[in-house]
Amino acid sequence: MDNAFTRIGLIGKYGDPGVVGTVLELSRILQERGCEVLLDEQTAASMENPGLPVASQDEIGRQCNLAITVGGDGTLLNAARNMVRFKVPLLGINLGRLGFLVDVSPNDMNLRMNEILDGKYEEEQRIMLTTSIEHHNGGADSMGDALNDVVVHKWEVARMIETETFINGRFLNSMRSDGLIISTPTGSTAYALSSGGPILDPDMDAIVLVPICPHTMSYRPIVIDGDSEIEIIVKENPHAHAQVTCDGQINLGVVSGDKINIRKMEQCVRLIHPCKHNHYEILRAKLNWGGPF
């Protein structure tokens, strides 16, 4: 089978010199297979004379037909928010500890990359969220995207926030809490899980809302259709301030009275996995679940 990936962008964990050896070895493997390689400019900044063409992530998105991240899930989350606009698939080399999204070990990198370049791989599409904040004081709207989750949370340690939530224009609840997690199925094994949310199959077209330490214990996580539009209003409280965080990496300021709109993005992010990728096997390994008796 002809190699579908002829020009490949490499994106390493920012500011981590530990990725250098893996990036250089990966570039050697790809070039031996006749692939053109572009190195992300921020990754190149941590390397001395990498000997590779350097490009921004936007340029990688426009020019490449595959992007490979070297790091952990956070590195892939960051790249996904850029690559989804260009419909460029992503593959992750795992230098992190948990790694639900990045599933190629550096020890297997040579074998797995040659298999993938031979056309032996699996591709899946994951939904993403986009959020906009309408500032009630007339300021410019704030925007952010997320593969894992959008979190509305308190700014101060000792104060709760009060929010009103609407689903497709219908009132859901008013809640005092430390915040609210709006998660994709991908993010259901991240912050949402640690806050008591359910694990969703990553192929589902669904969104889960998980309260963070609600003042009333009757509040529980709720799973809604992926095409739902969510509106959250931060209610007036002179003593508490909130912020919105996308994937734990982008922070958007919110003040009382602002309206937060969250919905599914039109585009899905494309993820490449080695053959026989098994999400449930990853769950067992990462969450220390027992195998069959």
Catalytic pick from 16, 40, 58, 73? 73
d(CA 71, CA 83): 16
The predicted model scores a pTM of 0.93
Render pLDDT for 38-95 as a digit per residue (tens, 0 to 9).
999 999 998 887 889 999 999 999 999 999 999 999 999 999 999 999 999 999 999 9
Q: Reduced to 3 DSSP states, what percent helix, strand and coil does the chain have, rounded to the nearest 5?
A: 25, 35, 40
Residue 194 clears pLDDT 50, i.e. is over it? yes
Question: What residues make up the domain containing 184?
Answer: 129-264
Please confirm, yes or no, whether 73 is among the known catalytic residues. yes
- Specify the length of the chain in residues: 293
Residues 140 and 251 reside in one and the same domain: yes
Does one domain contain both 120 and 137?
A: no
DSSP state of 123: E
14 neighbors 74 (Cβ within 8 angstroms): no
Comparing 31-35, 40-44, 280-284, the range with the smallest average pLDDT is 280-284
Considering the domain boundaries, does residue 108 fall inside one?
Answer: yes
Q: How far is CA 165 from CA 142, 169, 226, in A?
A: 19, 9, 16
Q: Single out the residue of 226, 227, 220, 230 nearest to residue 259, CA to CA.
A: 230
Summarize pLDDT for 219-262 with one digit per residue, the tens.
Answer: 999 999 999 999 999 987 766 678 999 999 999 988 888 999 99
Task: Please return the burial class of 216, using the count of CB atoms within 10 Å of its CB with bins 0-12, 13-18 and 19+.
Answer: exposed
Predicted local confidence at residue 275, as pLDDT: 93
Residue 8 has pLDDT above 90, yes or no: yes
Q: Is the pLDDT of residue 2 over 60?
A: no
Q: What is the CATH number of the domain that holds 158?
A: 2.60.200.30
* Number of domains within the chain: 2
Look at the block and give the residue holding tokens 């809604």.
224
Task: Look at residue 36 and tell me if it is in a domain.
Answer: yes
